[in-house]
Amino acid sequence: MKTVLKLTALSAFLLMLAGGLVSCNRETPIPFTWISLAGTDPTCDYWGNLTFDNSVKIINSLEELENYIDCPENRFLDIDFSRYSLLIAVGETSGVFRSCGLPTGFVKKNGNTYILRVTVGISMIQVVGPWISFVLVPKISENAQITLETTYTTRRVSC
């Protein structure tokens, strides 16, 4: 009888542990909107102070946005930074034939950890070039940890 109870308790513990491990790897999709700042003002320097280091910058105010992008008289899209964060995903790779990355997913892993998935179109030309993607998401902390997962394709990416 004691052996059966021990095996039952051990089985219950292992099931709880397995369930906990599964939930740790859960991804919760977060709604996002890809936006283009290109074309809103031809005098803007959209590359400004950005470093193309395959990372994601979290922007929670107009003042923060001005640190990266230089537009005369702050001619940006109207973004409600009280409700939204702007993510600027940047990178540099060989063969870029478009200067943008198309976001394909934004998920929450756990706590304050997220993944932004971006597809970048490349060609067979071995020229190193920058790419950029602007993504609007529900407000997140500036301390959030965002992993950038980049997929490269030789198909034309419509940005």
Q: What is the residue extent of each domain of the chain?
A: 28-153
- The pLDDT, as a whole number, for residue 8 is 47
- CA distances to 17, 19, 24, 62, 74 from 14, rounded to whole Å, are 5, 8, 15, 50, 57
Q: What angle do CA 82, 88, 91 make, to 5 degrees?
A: 170
- The pLDDT, as a whole number, for residue 19 is 45
Q: Residue 24 region, left (φ>0) first, then alpha (ψ -120 to 50), else beta?
A: alpha
- The pLDDT, as a whole number, for residue 61 is 92
Distance, C-alpha 58 to centroid of its chain = 9
- The pLDDT, as a whole number, for residue 37 is 67
Dist. CA 86–CA 93, nearest whole Å? 23
Q: What is the mean pLDDT of each run of 10 residues along the chain (159 residues)?
A: 44 45 73 76 63 91 80 66 94 68 92 94 70 92 96 74
124, two tokens: 């067979």
